[in-house]
Amino acid sequence: MTNLPRQTILSTKLNFKVMIKLQVIGNLGKDCITNTVNGKSVINFSVAHTEKFKDAQGNQKDKTIWVECAYWTDRTGIAPYLKKGQQVYADGTPELRTYTKNDGTPGVSLTLRVFTVQLIGGKTGGDYSGVAPTNEGQSYQQPAVPVSAVPSASDITEPVDDLPF
């Protein structure tokens, strides 16, 4: 046996996989754009995450980080809901990209290949009453459940003692 510390020996014997995952909660900066690339659908959107803090003088400051997101999916039904101001949760694999700004200085952008996206809050200043506008300017009405389809308490005839717990 070698003179390596025990932790080093254990870590060399185990097969660890490497993963980097980024989770972001923030508001959409603009309406999403849905495209098809090589026969696959992608939904592109940008999320702004703002942190509030106080500087050394006690002044309230805001720091906003923008994350450009690409959601490769066949399920594009969420796209009509991804509108400017909507609060979302997204997670996926991050990537940093460098570019040259208009003034010639280098810039860095944070992009995210999204695995999961969820709507978590109401749209700021908006109303989500079951109607989601589409990109064509038309409306999509979610089907409403008829009142007669929902049983009332008097319609349930199962005895109380047959509960499964």
Write down all domains in the chain, each with its CATH number in brackets. Answer: 11-162 (2.40.50.140)
Instruction: Give 20-60 pLDDT, tens digit per residue.
Output: 899 999 999 999 999 999 999 999 999 999 999 999 999 99
- Pairing between β-strand 60-72 and β-strand 106-119 as defined by DSSP bridges: parallel
Alpha helices in the chain (DSSP H): 6-13
Per-residue pLDDT band for 19 (boundaries 50, 70, 90) equals confident
pLDDT at 90 over 70: yes
Tokens describing residue 120:
């978590």
Tokens describing residue 114:
């999204």
Q: Determine the pLDDT at residue 3.
A: 55
Q: How far, rounded to the nearest angstrom, does the alpha carbon of residue 55 sit from its chain's CA centroid? A: 30
Tokens describing residue 95:
């990537």
pTM of the model: 0.61
